[in-house]
Amino acid sequence: MSEARRIVLLGPPGGGKGTQAKRLEEKHGWPQLSTGDILRKAIADGTPLGQRVKAILDEGRLVSDDEIMGVISERLDQPDCANGFILDGVPRTVGQAEALEALLRDKGTPLDAVIELRVPDERLLERLTGRFFCAHCGANYHDTFHQPEVQGKCDYCGHTEFTRRSDDNPETVKGRLAAYHEQTEPLKPFYEARDLLRVVDGTQDMDAVTADMERVVGVA
């Protein structure tokens, strides 16, 4: 088991966050905590907070930062997070970053690093419009850059069904990238001021990106 590391992972859609988080989780035991997955699990488990979130979503309202942080707090208290974690999808705003900072301070588990996977928009457009996923475990693949080792069979779980996102088309992707930049740019000075932000070149091959991420968190 590697040393504990608590990481926030920033990066645009298609930047490789999911792939890299899965690699680090498998190698070092730091669970990838996706905000969407955390919310869905809290709802499925029927926790009091999960029930409140379900009611909010059923009414078509947005989940507040307080509710999101509450669900994250529950998840961080699970035993598999004792040796660190990788937060993916939160924070999205400076307000969430401040709330996360306070939450982790109260738990005595401050962040070790905020890693930004940086990829130019033109490269992201190419990546996103050609990507597909294992329908069972969610592993990422691409028509050009990353086919399964055995055609039609997932490298990770062996299943043979794949899917594509309906919004992986050029116009929608451009809108998603614009929204990402608008949301994320204010987070950079926030974490730079705390000497936590580390930038990794996400255009490298997967092994080089993983190695750089390990280097910046001191486990290479």
Phi, psi of 34 (to 5 degrees): -85, 130
User: Can you give the pLDDT at residue 89?
Assistant: 86
The residue range of the domain holding 103 is 6-214
Into how many domains does the chain fold?
1
29 is in an annotated binding site: no
What Cα–Cα distance (Å) separates residue 65 from each residue in 12, 70, 134? 21, 8, 31
Q: In whole numbers, what is the pLDDT of the chain averaged over residues?
A: 92
With respect to residue 59, please indicate whether it lies within any of the assigned structural domains: yes
With respect to residue 184, please indicate whether it lies within any of the assigned structural domains: yes
With respect to residue 58, please indicate whether it lies within any of the assigned structural domains: yes
Please say if the pLDDT value at position 27 is more than 70: yes
165 noted as active-site residue: yes
Average pLDDT over residues 67-80: 92
* pTM of the predicted model as reported, rounded to 2 decimal places: 0.81
With respect to residue 1, please indicate whether it lies within any of the assigned structural domains: no
19 is in an annotated binding site: yes
* Percent of the chain whose pLDDT exceeds 90: 64
pLDDT confidence tier of residue 49, bands split at 50, 70 and 90: confident
Neighbours of 58 (CB within 10 A): 9
User: Can you give the pLDDT at residue 1?
Assistant: 62
CATH of the domain at 66: 3.40.50.300
With respect to residue 124, please indicate whether it lies within any of the assigned structural domains: yes
With respect to residue 220, please indicate whether it lies within any of the assigned structural domains: no
Selected catalytic residue, list 17, 23, 127, 198? 17
With respect to residue 168, please indicate whether it lies within any of the assigned structural domains: yes
- Per-residue pLDDT of 175-203, as tens digits, reads 989 988 998 889 999 999 999 999 999 99
